[in-house]
Chain A
Amino acid sequence: MDIFDKYAQIAGRHDKVLELGTDPFGVRLDEILSATEARIDGRRTILVGTNNYLGLTFDEAAIEAAVEAVRTQGTGTTGSRIANGTYALHRQLEAEFAQFLGRRSCMVFTTGYQANLGMIVGLAGPRDVIYLDADSHASIYDGCRLSGAKVVRFRHNDPEDLDRRLARQQEGEAALVIVEGLYSMLGDVAPIAEFAEVKRKHGAWLMVDEAHSFGVFGERGRGVAEAQGVEEDVDFVVGTFSKSLGGIGGFGASSHPRFDVLRYCSRPYMFTASPNPASIASVRAALVRIDREPGLRGQIWGNARQLHEGLAGLGFDLCSPMSPVIAVKMPDEGTAVWAWNRLLELGVYVNLAVPPGTPNGVCLLRCSVSAAHRSKQIEEVLGRFGQLAQELAAARA
């Protein structure tokens, strides 16, 4: 038996996708022209699917800080946080993040994926129960599996369903509820205030992943919990550096007095190389900019409104109210793949999202806007979506 036989079905599905054009899961960006444009297959392409929400990947201060760090501290740490991989930079960023979030302590992880793994594995063990939103990100599911805890799913964004399930919990088990601030596929926001009420009622712990909402939601950019005024009810907050902060890495933060025990009890934190100095230095600079320049949020919300209203006006079926993630629903996988290729030919890159990576079996052209998009670029994108709409209508006729 070939060890790859188990992938025969999914490989066959992938082959069918390739018959329709470019591989949506292997796009190569040949030249990065700016935070919002790249050259792909020789074409200047507007990027509308990068999660580069604040457009800080080309922030001058962040670039200078990264260059300085790599010159003075080297290309990598070559060690884990519990050995030789904790530099003064890591500790400085953790202190700055804790202050920004108003939390007692913050831990930095090497990627956003590992931040969820490290937090969940550290917080929940085989004698605990995790209640997770059904639409949670793969990193949350993987962390749950790795933790060994009993894992119960509740219906997406449904505090009443969580309430029913927590009511059935057995005595003697600690319960950890996990939700996201902004859901990355459909672009919908969690009712964290209502979840907080349920968790208080049952004495559970609440962890919120603000990966897609950090820097974008809330008066200071701390996320959806800040926007809904319930940060004090969130026991643990997780996030990533690879979206609004334009780098790579992740964080977990809390005011629990025993939180730092995770530094020597969470294996995904302990047994991996720490983030390289350049990454940490650029994130420190980006965090300063987020803190000092609230106007960035005004720009991204303006762009989100322009794209959302424009796509709705063209008659596209949008999954959620306006947010920086705008998901366009397609009728089936074949149409979604064809439309995705057509947009790429027209010089627009969006994300193709298909089951099982999407909830409820939907197929999506997933767009995410950036504060760095100019209004004219959004107009161009809408023009090309308009052409796509005409071609889809002609194909249906």
Chain B
Amino acid sequence: MTTTDDTIFREICGLVARFAPAGVQLRPETELASDLNVDSVAAMDLVMEIEDKYEIDIPINQLADMRSLGDLVELVRQQLKDR
């Protein structure tokens, strides 16, 4: 990850931390559904918070392939680049 990605990752971890069960460390490969129990609706709500933070829109069509925190960071990075 680049420095910018590291910053985005840290900021997103701050938003995701409330989902993390005790003992689960947040890493780019941490899976939202299986590791953090974030279901499809919770994932869409989480994305909404992220959209507000960065003033971007992440179309929900792009969430189908999102599995890990790293995928989420990449989505944000892409939207920031396209802005």
| Residues of chain A whose beta carbon lies under 8 Å from any beta carbon of chain B | 129, 134, 144-145, 150-153, 155, 164-165, 168, 355-356, 359-361
Query: Smallest distance from the beta carbon of A174 to chain B beta carbons, Å?
Result: 15
Complex contacts, A165 vs chain B, CB 8 Å: 57
Distance of A234 Cα from B20 Cα, bound (Å) = 43
User: Do B56 and A150 touch across chains, with their CB atoms under 8 A apart?
Assistant: no
Q: B1 near A: Cβ within 8 Å?
A: no
Complex contacts, B55 vs chain A, CB 8 Å: 164, 168
User: Do B40 and A151 touch across chains, with their CB atoms under 8 A apart?
Assistant: no
Complex contacts, B42 vs chain A, CB 8 Å: 361
Distance of A144 Cα from B48 Cα, bound (Å) = 18
User: Do A168 and B59 touch across chains, with their CB atoms under 8 A apart?
Assistant: no
Distance of A359 Cα from B44 Cα, bound (Å) = 11
Query: Smallest distance from the beta carbon of B57 to chain A beta carbons, Å?
Result: 5
Distance of A360 Cα from B39 Cα, bound (Å) = 12
Whose C-beta in chain A lies nearest to the C-beta of B59?
A: A150
Complex contacts, A145 vs chain B, CB 8 Å: 61
Distance of A161 Cα from B42 Cα, bound (Å) = 19
User: Do B56 and A153 touch across chains, with their CB atoms under 8 A apart?
Assistant: no
Question: 7 pairs across A/B with beta carbons < 8 Å?
Answer: A134-B48, A151-B61, A152-B60, A153-B60, A168-B55, A356-B40, A361-B42
Distance of A333 Cα from B60 Cα, bound (Å) = 27
Complex contacts, A164 vs chain B, CB 8 Å: 55
Distance of A361 Cα from B18 Cα, bound (Å) = 15
Q: Which of B39, B40, B45, B57 contacts A152 (CB under 8 A)?
A: B57
Complex contacts, A152 vs chain B, CB 8 Å: 57, 59-60
Complex contacts, A355 vs chain B, CB 8 Å: 39, 41
What is the number of residues of chain B that contact chain A, defined by CB distance less than 8 Å? 13
Query: Assuming A168-B56, A355-B39, A356-B39, is B61 touching A134 (CB within 8 A)?
Result: no
Complex contacts, B56 vs chain A, CB 8 Å: 168
Q: Interface code B6-46, partner A: CB below 8 Å = 1, 0 otherwise?
A: 00000000000000000000000000000000011110110
| Residues of chain B whose beta carbon lies under 8 Å from any beta carbon of chain A | 39-42, 44-45, 48, 55-57, 59-61
Query: Assuming A134-B48, A168-B55, A168-B56, is B61 touching A150 (CB within 8 A)?
Result: yes
Complex contacts, B60 vs chain A, CB 8 Å: 144, 151-153
CB-based closest 10 A-B pairs: A356-B41, A150-B59, A152-B57, A151-B60, A151-B59, A151-B61, A356-B39, A168-B57, A165-B57, A152-B59
User: Do A153 and B41 touch across chains, with their CB atoms under 8 A apart?
Assistant: no
Whose C-beta in chain B lies nearest to the C-beta of A148?
A: B61
Complex contacts, A134 vs chain B, CB 8 Å: 44-45, 48
Complex contacts, A144 vs chain B, CB 8 Å: 60
Query: Smallest distance from the beta carbon of B38 to chain A beta carbons, Å?
Result: 11
Complex contacts, A360 vs chain B, CB 8 Å: 45
Whose C-beta in chain B lies nearest to the C-beta of A145?
A: B61
Query: Smallest distance from the beta carbon of B63 to chain A beta carbons, Å?
Result: 10
Question: Could you list 13 further interchain pairs (A-B, Cβ under 8 angstroms) beyond the known A134-B44, A151-B61, A168-B56?
Answer: A129-B59, A134-B48, A145-B61, A152-B59, A153-B60, A168-B55, A168-B57, A355-B39, A355-B41, A356-B39, A356-B40, A359-B41, A361-B42
Whose C-beta in chain A lies nearest to the C-beta of B47?
A: A153
Q: Which of A155, A356, A361 contacts B48 (CB under 8 A)?
A: A155
Query: Smallest distance from the beta carbon of B31 to chain A beta carbons, Å?
Result: 14
